[in-house]
Amino acid sequence: MKKKRISIIVAIIAGIMLISNSCTKISEKSFVGKWRVISWQTDDHDGEGWHEDEYLSSNHIITFYNNGYCENYNDGDTSRDSWAFIESTGQLKVSNMLFSVIKYENKELELEYYDSSTSFRVFMKKID
């Protein structure tokens, strides 16, 4: 009987943790700050599948500002774009590209972008 109660309690705690982790509320403020790009993968729809993009450096940083602009720094090259989070669809718009937010937890972010010619998967970690 005691083992059954412990199993039930463990199951309830696990369920609560699962629900609380899956209900992470993402807002535009969630993105503000510096993010290190860990991996940028490309699928050219040529039958080869996903591969690591060659232009990615270990110094690839994207900074999202709360004024709707972001800076993309990659090995000395910097570009500036607009950005917005579309809460109703869970998508991040950077310039004219609309990324689906696949994962956002523990300061880690996974984005996906699909179109008919090239698709991207981006994995980032917040560094401030």
pLDDT digits (tens, 9 = 90+) for 33-67: 999 999 999 998 888 889 888 766 678 999 999 99
- Measured between alpha carbons, how far is 97 from 5 in angstroms, rounded to an integer? 51
| Nearest-5° Cα angle at 127, 40 to 19 | 85
Asked, for residue 41, whether it belongs to a domain, the answer is: yes
Decide: helix, strand or coil at residue 91: strand
Q: Which domain holds residue 74?
A: 25-126
| Residues 96-125, mean pLDDT to the nearest whole number | 93
Asked if pLDDT for residue 118 goes beyond 70, the answer is yes
Residue 18 within a domain? no
Domain containing residue 60: CATH number: 2.40.128.270
- pLDDT at res. 5: 42
Round the average pLDDT of the chain to a whole number and report it. Answer: 82
Three-state secondary structure along 6-75? HHHHHHHHHHHHHHHHHCCCCCHHHCCEEEEEEEEEEECCCCCCCEECCCCCCCEEEEECCCCEEEEEEC
How many domains does one find in the chain?
A: 1
51 in a domain, yes or no? yes
Would 15 be classed as within a structural domain? no
pLDDT at site 12 = 38
